[in-house]
Amino acid sequence: MENRRRSSGLKQNVSGKRSRSEERVKDNRITKKKMGKCSSSSGLTIPKTPQLLSKTRSRPTNILRHEDYLEKCLKDEIEAKKAEAKAREAEKIRLNKQHTGKCVVTRPTTVALPFQLSSTNARRLPTTASSTPPTFTAQPIPTRLLKTVTGLPDRKAAPVVIPESPAFATKQRQAVKKAAALIAKVVPLQLAKPKPAPHHGVPVVLPPTSKTKTVPEPFSFYNRDKDVVKNKEDKIKKFIQDENALREFHAAPIMQHQALPEKKTAPATKPQPFQHNIEERVEPRLARWTESIEQQFQQEQNDKEFKANKALVLQKKPFIPEPSSKPLAEVQNVILHSEERAMQRENWTMSKADNEAKLQAATRERDVRRKLEEEKQVAKMRKETVHKAQPIRSYREVTAMEAKPLTKPESPAFATRQRAQCRKMSH
């Protein structure tokens, strides 16, 4: 609880207002207090908002750059290679090792002897003949391995296990079943009988689906589509042959009894020089450009010269303003805003005075009514406090009861037999 209070205290703003998350936590605490009294340990789970505080998280600030990280990885790899243990070659160790000249004495193998359990078994002396140790002779490699690649032999297929139901009674039942399985039963071929055509309103029982294998057969439209494709290909071939026949060259026959036209000879082309004289084409354009520059310069010079205008103001008559011929505006029915405000203020004061007078009259009327009610209550109380004698009440006549004999006290009977008999009688 203390940790939650601290975390909620960190979330408060500068202005003192609490955030929505703190309000939710507070509501959860209140609901938990309310539900804790009535709910047991196996009650409903109360949802809580997670306190995701970014201040309590620890983020690394010393992150290396990509280049520094690569250099560090390279240094670690070089140090790891240096620290690796390198084994020396066995041949160099054997050649570099100095021969001391000492030879290791090989001891003979232990000979097993029988135990001397009786006097009849005499100790046998070891034979003088030296037993030579067997020498290892390698067998020649089979030539079949050198010629072809030989692998492992083929795995023999295990016989298929035929499941049989266990015979729990006797062994004869199992023998009978095996004999029946060996004898092949000739099953007659059952032909499907045609069923009558269904009628309206009569339920139709469809034949059961056969469990035979599906035999693939061509569709009914296979041959038809094949013929259509063949006809289409024939039409395309015929169209191509017609086009090729049209493209063939057929020379027109030579016309006889007609003279050839005279051959017209075209006049020879007369060469003329090209117009490459640039000066002839550039001179008029250059003249126009120089002329425009001179005109512009002359215009600038004329603009620079100061020419004062004549003092015509001294000869003119002075300006005399003429009165306007427009008639003066007639002001009629002018109502100032201050007058409107004064009238509104007067109406407001009158309405306020009326309301105050009505309120005072209502209070006076209420006070008068209250005084009258108090006077009535006082008169009623005074009237009720006056003492009045009560009349004599009439009761029923008292009759004397008959005297009953007094009860004689007796000591209790604790005899168990009598009590048991009384219980039996009561039951």
Q: SS in 3 state form for 169-232?
A: CCHHHHHHHHHHHHCCCCCCCCCCCCCCCCCCCCCCCCCCCCCCCCCCCCCCCHHHHHHHHHHH
Report the predicted TM-score, pTM, of the whole model to 2 decimal places.
0.19
Q: Is residue 130 part of a domain?
A: no
CB 49 within 8 A of CB 28: yes
Q: Is residue 372 part of a domain?
A: yes
What 8-state DSSP symbol labels residue 314? G
pLDDT number for residue 184: 52
Length of the chain: 427
- CA dist., res. 285 & res. 279, Å (int): 10
Tokens of 12: 């408060």
Q: Over the stretch 175-195, which tens digit does the pLDDT of each residue have? A: 666 666 666 555 566 666 666
pLDDT number for residue 10: 43
Q: Which helix (H) or strand (E) holds 31?
A: helix 20-38
User: Range of 353's domain?
Assistant: 346-377
Going by C-alpha positions, the residue among 423, 187, 21, 367 that lies closest to residue 10 is 21
Q: Is residue 357 part of a domain?
A: yes
- CA dist., res. 22 & res. 6, Å (int): 11
Going by C-alpha positions, the residue among 7, 1, 3, 2 that lies closest to residue 22 is 7
pLDDT number for residue 411: 81
- CA dist., res. 183 & res. 339, Å (int): 135
- CA dist., res. 174 & res. 180, Å (int): 10
Q: Is residue 31 part of a domain?
A: yes
pLDDT number for residue 379: 93
- CA dist., res. 36 & res. 30, Å (int): 10
- CA dist., res. 224 & res. 218, Å (int): 11
Q: What is the three-class DSSP state of 293?
A: helix
Residue by residue, what is the 3-state secondary structure of 287-319? HHHHHHHHHHHHHHHHHHCCCCCCCHHHCCCCC
Distances in Å between the Cα of 149 and the Cα atoms of 35, 153, 195, 368 are 83, 12, 67, 136
CB 110 within 8 A of CB 126: no
How many domains does the structure of the chain reveal?
2
CB 177 within 8 A of CB 187: no
Q: Is residue 362 part of a domain?
A: yes
pLDDT number for residue 37: 47
pLDDT number for residue 238: 93
Q: Is residue 382 part of a domain?
A: no
Q: Which helix (H) or strand (E) holds 229?
A: helix 222-247
Q: Is residue 29 part of a domain?
A: yes
pLDDT number for residue 362: 95
Q: Over the stretch 363-409, which tens digit does the pLDDT of each residue have? A: 999 999 999 999 999 999 998 888 888 888 888 888 888 888 888 88
Q: What is the three-class DSSP state of 381?
A: helix
Q: What is the mean pLDDT of each run of 10 residues along the chain (427 residues)?
A: 47 47 61 51 77 66 79 88 70 53 68 69 52 78 78 78 72 65 60 62 66 80 90 93 87 73 85 74 84 92 84 87 84 86 95 95 95 94 85 84 85 71 69
- CA dist., res. 364 & res. 371, Å (int): 11
pLDDT number for residue 149: 72
